[in-house]
Amino acid sequence: MVRQGNIDNPPKTPLVPGFECSGIVEALGDNVKGFEIGDRVMAFVNYSAWAEVVCTPVEFVYKIPDDMSFSEAAAFPMNFVTAYMMLFEVANLREGMSVLVHSAGGGVGQAVAQLCSTIPNVTVFGTASSFKHEAIKDSVTHLFDRNADYVQEVKRISTDGVDIVLDCLCGENTGKGLSLLKPLGTYILYVSYTFLEYCFSNLLLFIAFQWWQVEKVNPIKLYEENKVIAGFSLLNLLFKQNRGGLIKGVMDKLLNLYNNKKIKPVVDSLWALEEVKEAMQRIHDRGNIGKLILDVEKAPTPLVSAKYILHTWCSHTA
Amino acid sequence: MVRQGNIDNPPKTPLVPGFECSGIVEALGDNVKGFEIGDRVMAFVNYSAWAEVVCTPVEFVYKIPDDMSFSEAAAFPMNFVTAYMMLFEVANLREGMSVLVHSAGGGVGQAVAQLCSTIPNVTVFGTASSFKHEAIKDSVTHLFDRNADYVQEVKRISTDGVDIVLDCLCGENTGKGLSLLKPLGTYILYVSYTFLEYCFSNLLLFIAFQWWQVEKVNPIKLYEENKVIAGFSLLNLLFKQNRGGLIKGVMDKLLNLYNNKKIKPVVDSLWALEEVKEAMQRIHDRGNIGKLILDVEKAPTPLVSAKYILHTWCSHTA
């Protein structure tokens, strides 16, 4: 991917992956308002979240509700903000609509399923490895094996397709997803951050590159079929396009849903920093349901008395 | 366009153009409910609206409010439903957003401007021929000449672009429109029906063909830039995709806005059926502000005592 020049500013190795974390505020930048040392917080970070101490601009930091654990908080921001913005900011999910989501057992998939359940009469079609079906069957309406012909499976149940397709697979799935849309339906291409992190951390650029292989779309065809195609990258929105203020409003809504017990992050398992390779292998083997958390307290010789991912140092400068 | 095979089921000549009309119900199909002979109605028609008597399925027929004239009603459905669905169903217009619309003096352009004014703090950028600016300057926030470099003009006022681009120009304007979008912004390609009717009625297929020349869009670019591209064709939605039920709900909302004096169709001028050539020339010369109406009462020898476009015969069969 990097070799092919398909992304801007590719990260240079060595690098510390990770885009979100939770922990305790250890230090504040000059003039930072709204936080104090000792606050329990979760945060977005532009790389380097897989660390014991993290520094990030204050606009990317959010207080953790009292009854949310650090591991839940480390699993919350990326998945739920991504799911919420795709469903409600890009696609305008409303009562009675239908949604197709791939990797329904993953972090974003589970967040999508939970957020869909907050709207009356929403049908969720999901794909996932068959061995996950028992664990997640209550969260989606119709589950298909990830290797099944999901286009045919969906059409068998809903002949005129679905209103929203959320696609993290890309490649030939873009054409399939567009073909499944009802008139006025929305196809959204996004990326699974866990997948990208896995590729980067293992230098599996050829795998990541496959994601980038996708046919271009003719706007006239969209016009003729009354369809919408969108791309969504939370990382670009946060770190390249300066939309932190917008995300703040979304986080407020999501924390309100959490406090009302409408949504709850799904934590698959906790891992020591030294176990990152095994944790990544679990993702690669599609063994996880929900989010894997790197827990710095599980490290045998912590450099500082860290709580979960990090102590966060908040600065108001970017 | 037809020669190049770029549209499905191209109309065969001779044909009667026209997709909307108003008039009095003259006859009802078997089992038609909700209408009576003599009702004042407006309707969508799949071609053949430029006639004294029209037949259309009952799902495309709507009663005219008491204080709406027949000429207003003939100018209402296509422009306002198109504008409403693009702004609120596809693009999710909300408070504080900004919209760019081309042909701001045309029927859809004026409907867009009026609907934007129903949402607080919406900025409307419009392009139109300079000689129309005086007449429409109060309806949009910023007006540019149609030959100006509107990308630069918009960026001079709003450096980060706009939230919604409504483009009926297509061709190279698709790329320009996409470049003007803010992150999470929506570009919508639609067609001006008046323009298409003009092309068909004058067999100017080479002009229509230019509209169809547009670069394909890379979904990865949408992903990287957080952008949305959509196409909207009300005719296909109505007559190919069977979404008459959805349009009924939109018409209810629009008639409510009309009754509350929030919106009002802009009628440019009335013409006899025999004057259709001159009327089309006025559109081609961009002389109109709002909709041109063919008024069958202006015909020198009407075959029936027709009121404006037609007497409508409603059938519940398609």
Where would I find the beta strands (DSSP E) of chain A? Answer: 20-28, 40-44, 53-57, 61-63, 98-101, 123-128, 142-145, 162-167, 181-190, 228-232, 267-271, 291-294, 310-315
Nearest CA distance, A291 vs chain B (angstrom)? 23
Q: What is the ipTM of this complex?
A: 0.88
Nearest CA distance, B303 vs chain A (angstrom)? 37
Strand order in the sheet with B98-101: A142-145, A123-128, A98-101, A162-167, A181-190, A228-232, B228-232, B181-190, B162-167, B98-101, B123-128, B142-145
pLDDT tens-digit readout, A152-195 = 999 999 999 999 999 998 778 899 999 999 999 999 999 866 55
Please name the residues in contact with B206: beta carbons below 8 A apart, sequence gap of 6 or more.
none
Cα Rg for chain B, rounded, in angstroms?
19
Shortest CA distance from A216: residue in chain B: B218
Nearest CA distance, A169 vs chain B (angstrom)? 12
- Contact between B232 and A223 using a beta-carbon 8 Å cutoff: yes
- How many CB atoms lie under 10 A from the CB of residue A196? 19
pLDDT tens-digit readout, A84-129 = 999 999 999 999 999 999 999 989 999 999 999 999 999 999 999 9
Q: Residue A310 and residue A297: Cα distance in Å, rounded?
A: 9
pLDDT tens-digit readout, A130-146 = 999 999 999 999 999 99
CA distances from A148 to A151, A154, A190, B48 (A): 9, 11, 21, 47
Q: pTM for the complete prediction?
A: 0.89
Please check whether residue A57 is in contact with residue A316, taking contact to mean a CB–CB distance below 8 angstroms: yes
Q: Residue A183 and residue B90: Cα distance in Å, rounded?
A: 11
Vertex B69 angle, CA B27 and B109, to 5°: 110
Is 80 exceeded by the pLDDT of residue A224?
yes
Q: Which helix (H) or strand (E) holds A154?
A: helix A150-157
CA distances from B292 to B110, B140, B205 (A): 13, 21, 22
- Contact between A229 and B233 using a beta-carbon 8 Å cutoff: no
Amino acid occupying residue A175:
G
A306 falls in which pLDDT band (50, 70, 90)?
Answer: very low
Is 50 exceeded by the pLDDT of residue A318?
no
- Contact between B219 and A222 using a beta-carbon 8 Å cutoff: no
pLDDT value for A203:
53
Considering chain A, what is the average pLDDT of its residues? 86
Q: Residue A130 and residue A146: Cα distance in Å, rounded?
A: 7
Q: Is there a cis peptide before residue B65, judged by omega within 30 degrees of 0? A: no
pLDDT value for A109:
95
Q: Which helix (H) or strand (E) holds A224?
A: helix A219-225
- Contact between A224 and B236 using a beta-carbon 8 Å cutoff: yes
Which of B7, B163, B189, B223 should be substituted to probe chain A, the one whose Cβ sees the most A Cβ atoms within 10 Å? B223
Q: Residue B7 and residue B235: Cα distance in Å, rounded?
A: 13
Backbone angles phi, psi at A274, to 5 degrees: -65, -15
Q: Tokens for B196, please give them.
A: 């298409």
- Contact between B224 and A237 using a beta-carbon 8 Å cutoff: no
- Contact between A229 and B232 using a beta-carbon 8 Å cutoff: no
CA atoms within 13 A on the CB side of B255: 17
3-state helix, strand, coil in chain A (%, to 5): 35, 25, 40
CATH class of the domain at A78-239: alpha beta
CA distances from A115 to A229, A286, A289, B49 (A): 21, 23, 17, 45
Mean pLDDT of A39-68: 95
CB nearest A219 (choices: B85, B174, B223): B174
pLDDT value for A222:
96
Q: Residue A287 and residue A296: Cα distance in Å, rounded?
A: 22
* One pLDDT digit (tens) per residue for chain B, 318 residues: 333 334 456 577 788 888 999 999 999 999 999 999 999 999 999 989 999 999 999 999 999 999 999 999 999 999 999 999 999 999 999 999 999 999 999 899 999 999 999 999 999 999 999 999 999 999 999 999 999 999 999 999 999 999 999 999 877 889 999 999 999 999 999 986 655 555 555 555 555 566 667 889 999 999 999 999 999 999 999 999 999 999 999 999 999 999 999 999 999 999 998 888 888 888 888 888 889 999 988 754 444 433 344 444 433 333
Q: Residue B11 and residue B9: Cα distance in Å, rounded?
A: 6
pLDDT value for A194:
57
Q: If phi over 0 gives left and psi between -120 and 50 gives alpha, with beta otherwise, what is residue A62?
A: beta
The DSSP result for B195-260, as a single string, is: HHHHHHHTT-HHHHHHHT----B-HHHHHHHT-EEEEE-HHHHHHTS--HHHHHHHHHHHHHHHHT
Q: Tokens for B140, please give them.
A: 């949009």
Q: Residue B170 and residue B192: Cα distance in Å, rounded?
A: 11
Domains of chain A, residue spans = 78-239
pLDDT value for A301:
41
Q: If phi over 0 gives left and psi between -120 and 50 gives alpha, with beta otherwise, what is residue B41?
A: beta
Give B231's contacts in chain A (Cβ within 8 Å): 219-227
Nearest CA distance, B299 vs chain A (angstrom)? 36
Q: Tokens for B30, please give them.
A: 């078997």
Backbone angles phi, psi at A247, to 5 degrees: -65, -35
